[in-house]
Structure 1
């Protein structure tokens, strides 16, 4: 009786066994690569890149919205009105107010209003300056136009 090591040493595989062994290894490698290895197809890589680009644009637009909203002359009043609204309506108010519409675009940037509303909801009203009491103490028209869109949230 031959030992296992002798059987292994004397084994000579046929061409069919070698072919199917190689084919099985290729399939196993692909299964492991695509499931656990992080491999992706060209189409899914493009989808991921497009999604990441859209999220980056929305994040940038939300940051601009947040800064412009807090820089507006009536930020405290607008923020109070915004926080009193339903969580589900806040993004609509920001979109309708033009806070997430930039440049020559007619439509607001997708996803930016949600992100901006979430950040604005976290702002402590006590940290904002009081609204100007008199017309003479308001921000100059040029500065106000640069700080806020044409329409405000009410």
Structure 2
């Protein structure tokens, strides 16, 4: 079977166009792979749950009878060690969990506005 002469350049053009479309789609077009989309969704969900739990952390700090002493400790602690100090207060623990959450500790520190900001 013989193909017309235009078949070879047409096939090259179709393959080249598909490659260019794919490259442009993934770099500028916002396309993503299923695995990357799932990672992004998980990160967003984790961030949103953490932000939703900040009021619980702030309420726990307000209800703590040792609040003044713990806040003084947090204020006196360097910013580098402040997250660990917040985790030690017990305020950054999700209800039903035994261990404090690092992301919640950081968000709760920001919510307490310890630096006066």
Looking at CA atoms only, which structure, 1 or 2, has the larger radius of gyration? 1
Q: CA deviation digits over 1:41-68, x for unaligned, max 9?
A: 0000000011111111222223321232
Q: Which runs of 4+ in 1 moved over 6 A?
A: none
Q: Which runs of 5+ in 1 are unaligned?
A: 1-11, 125-154
TM-score (norm 2): 0.81
Match of 1:59 in 2: 51
Asked which structure has the greater RCO (Cα within 8 Å, sep 6+), the reply is 1
Give the aligned partner of residue 22 of structure 2: 30
Count of residues in correspondence between the two structures: 113
Q: Tell me, yes or no, if the aligned pair for 2:87 and 2:93 is still in contact at 8 Å.
A: yes
Measured on the aligned residues, the alpha-carbon RMSD in Å equals 2.2
Of the structure 1 ranges 32-41 and 77-86, higher mean CA displacement relative to structure 2 is found in: 77-86
Match of 2:67 in 1: 75
Distance 2:114 2:86 in 1: 15
The answer to whether residue 97 in structure 2 is matched with residue 97 in structure 1 is no
The gaps in structure 2 that reach 5 residues or longer are none
